[in-house]
Chain A
Amino acid sequence: MRDVAVVSYAQTPFVRSERARNEVEMLMPVIDEVVEKSGIERRKIGFTCSGSTDYLAGQSFSFVMAVDAVGAWPPICESHVEMDGAWALYEAWVKIQCGEVDSALVFSFGRSSMGETAETMTLQTDPYTLAPLGPDAISMAALQARAGLDRGLWSEREMAEVAVRSRRDALRNPEAQLKGEFDVDEILAEPYLVSPLRKHDCPPVSDGAAAAVIAAADVARQACEKPVWIRGIEHRLDSHQPGSRDLTLSPSTKAAGEAAGASSGRLDIAELHAPFSHQEIILKQALGLSDSVKINPSGGALAANPILTAGLARIGEASRQIVAGNGRRALAHATSGPCLQQNLVCILEGD
């Protein structure tokens, strides 16, 4: 295995609605910044991979237009995943492992605000039996939350505590969207949005873009003062059919975490992509995280959840924490699909 590091990360502030700029205009400054910070000349970056979905823009091949922000002339080696940017980073990591390239630019972007996110996400369900029924993303998460509540695995108060802590931590993150001091009792007194979920249990609708540059050890060492090493990165998935799963567990997160080496050393920080409050509790259990692990210092997906960018942002935020000296070893997690169906775990370490 080649040692590969995150050498730079940049993102837009995540906002409720990026009305003024289109995707290219949103991406261009982020890509400029991440390339500049990487210390690697743009033309020398061997591979570019993006993660996005045309469903957010409502425009086929919208990702092709985004390549305008990269400067793809003369033609570059480029790829795209219709997945979170965390999986684009995985593809880039594999490309470096194969020895084909020594560095890669990874980015993801999206303006969720242009559509009805909860309904758009329905389209990722099985197209023959589930999608026609139209269960929206919030209702599906509510089924999962209910299953855990009824089994006594968590309480509505514990869910509210996750939300309060996330939005309090987000106060220290200038790029987070939804932040502030909230009171558990007060938010528990609010009505249900989709029972048993209240508004605070759900992520905000967010627009934004993020980018990272990763590189093999020799390039990373030369280019960057504080490379953040990817010690393991793995992804696994559970059944596409939520009815065939125990929704209170996340076996795919557990398997990905074990394969990535989550338990092979003490973790200081975990950036978990848990769009709904109860999902943080499921992930924490699946990954066996102790209470000493600081969870989502960035505020996590409850503070900003740009679709298909929030996962890459977890890797970015975890690496920022390591660069800032707030920890030496971190776990970053990304999820996709209804009710935590697909999960990626990335273990990051400073020198």
Chain B
Amino acid sequence: MSEESTAVTKLVTPVRVSYTYTPGVATGKFLRGIRRGKIIGQACDSCGRVYVPPRGACPRCASPTSQEVELAHKGTIITFCVVRVPSENIDAELPYCAASILLDGADITLFGLIQECKFDEVRIGMRVEAVWKPESEWEYNLANIVHYRPIEEPDVPYEQIKEYS
């Protein structure tokens, strides 16, 4: 085939854009907290719901969330799945268990990995705690929490958490 009759099937056009990210007031406070080993949420001025990480506004009320709330490092599994396919973004050994976790005192769930247990024992309502990196490695990054592990506490009944599922 001549060059003219060959279809162009692939074209590589690299694009790179760089940013200087500034997180804003609310998320900035959260990141500074994470750097010190604390999980800082914010409560809505109008309905009191607690958001983590906070963005500065309650999405339900469009009110500011000006009250800071330090959250427990313990929470409840709201939902989970066991992942057996690799993903570029997650540096975890396969298979791993990804879960949506409601920290005590929060009204919004955080994403985390569940480890230090058998995956067939993971269940909705299960109590877990955050496992942090060594303090010397803490950065302005939620990845300071490497994973969550089960704790010896009774499961939370579904009725109490169904609003978050």
A-side residues, CB < 8 A to B, are 19-25, 28, 31-32, 42, 55, 57-58, 65, 67-73, 111, 113-116, 119-120, 123, 127-128, 131-132
The verdict on A25 contacting B26 (CB below 8 Å), with A31-B62, A68-B59, A116-B18 known, is yes
Which B residues are in CB contact (< 8 Å) with A123?
15, 17
Q: Specify the chain B residue showing the minimal Cβ separation from A120.
A: B17
Q: Could you tell me if B13 and A73 are in contact, using CB atoms closer than 8 angstroms?
A: no
B13-48: contact bitstring with A at CB < 8 Å (1 yes, 0 no)?
111011111111111000000000000000000000
Which A residues are in CB contact (< 8 Å) with B62?
28, 31-32, 42, 68-71
**What are 23 A-B pairs at a CB distance below 8 A?**
A20-B24, A21-B25, A21-B56, A22-B23, A22-B26, A25-B56, A28-B56, A28-B57, A28-B62, A28-B64, A57-B19, A68-B55, A68-B58, A69-B62, A71-B60, A71-B61, A73-B61, A111-B22, A113-B20, A114-B22, A128-B13, A131-B13, A131-B15
Complex CA gap A132/B16 in Å reads 10
Most chain B CB inside 10 Å of its own CB: which residue of A21, A23, A32, A131: A21
Given contacts A23-B24, A73-B59, 15 further A-B contacts (CB under 8 A): A21-B24, A22-B22, A25-B24, A25-B26, A28-B56, A69-B62, A71-B58, A71-B59, A71-B63, A115-B17, A119-B17, A123-B17, A128-B11, A128-B13, A131-B13
Chain B nearest CB from A34 CB (Å) reads 12
Which B residues are in CB contact (< 8 Å) with A119?
17
The verdict on A114 contacting B13 (CB below 8 Å), with A25-B57, A73-B60 known, is no
Interface residues on B, range: 20 to 34
Chain A nearest CB from B16 CB (Å) reads 9
Most chain B CB inside 10 Å of its own CB: which residue of A25, A42, A58, A72: A25
Complex CA gap A113/B11 in Å reads 31
Q: Specify the chain B residue showing the minimal Cβ separation from A133.
A: B13
Complex CA gap A111/B26 in Å reads 17
Q: Specify the chain A residue showing the minimal Cβ separation from B22.
A: A19
Tell me what chain A mostly uses at the interface: helix, strand, loop, or mixed. Answer: helix
Complex CA gap A111/B20 in Å reads 11
Chain A nearest CB from B48 CB (Å) reads 14
Complex CA gap A55/B15 in Å reads 12
Complex CA gap A128/B10 in Å reads 11
Q: Could you tell me if A65 and B55 are in contact, using CB atoms closer than 8 angstroms?
A: yes
Q: Specify the chain A residue showing the minimal Cβ separation from B21.
A: A114
Complex CA gap A156/B60 in Å reads 53
Q: Could you tell me if A22 and B25 are in contact, using CB atoms closer than 8 angstroms?
A: yes
B-side residues, CB < 8 A to A, are 11, 13-15, 17-27, 55-64
Chain A nearest CB from B19 CB (Å) reads 4
Q: Specify the chain B residue showing the minimal Cβ separation from A123.
A: B15
Which B residues are in CB contact (< 8 Å) with A128?
11, 13
Most chain A CB inside 10 Å of its own CB: which residue of B11, B23, B24, B60: B24
Q: Could you tell me if B20 and A22 are in contact, using CB atoms closer than 8 angstroms?
A: no
Chain B nearest CB from A64 CB (Å) reads 10
Q: Could you tell me if B13 and A58 are in contact, using CB atoms closer than 8 angstroms?
A: no
Q: Could you tell me if A24 and B17 are in contact, using CB atoms closer than 8 angstroms?
A: no
Top 3 nearest A-B pairs (CB, nearest first) are: A22-B24, A71-B62, A73-B60
Chain A nearest CB from B130 CB (Å) reads 24
Which A residues are in CB contact (< 8 Å) with B60?
71-73
Chain B nearest CB from A36 CB (Å) reads 12
Contacting residue for B57 out of A57, A68, A114, CB 8 A? A68
Chain B nearest CB from A268 CB (Å) reads 36
Complex CA gap A298/B57 in Å reads 31
The verdict on A24 contacting B18 (CB below 8 Å), with A71-B62, A127-B13, A128-B13 known, is no
Q: Could you tell me if B25 and A20 are in contact, using CB atoms closer than 8 angstroms?
A: yes
Which B residues are in CB contact (< 8 Å) with A31?
62
Q: Specify the chain A residue showing the minimal Cβ separation from B20.
A: A114
Q: Specify the chain A residue showing the minimal Cβ separation from B60.
A: A73
Chain A nearest CB from B163 CB (Å) reads 13
Most chain A CB inside 10 Å of its own CB: which residue of B17, B19, B63, B64: B19
Chain B nearest CB from A43 CB (Å) reads 11
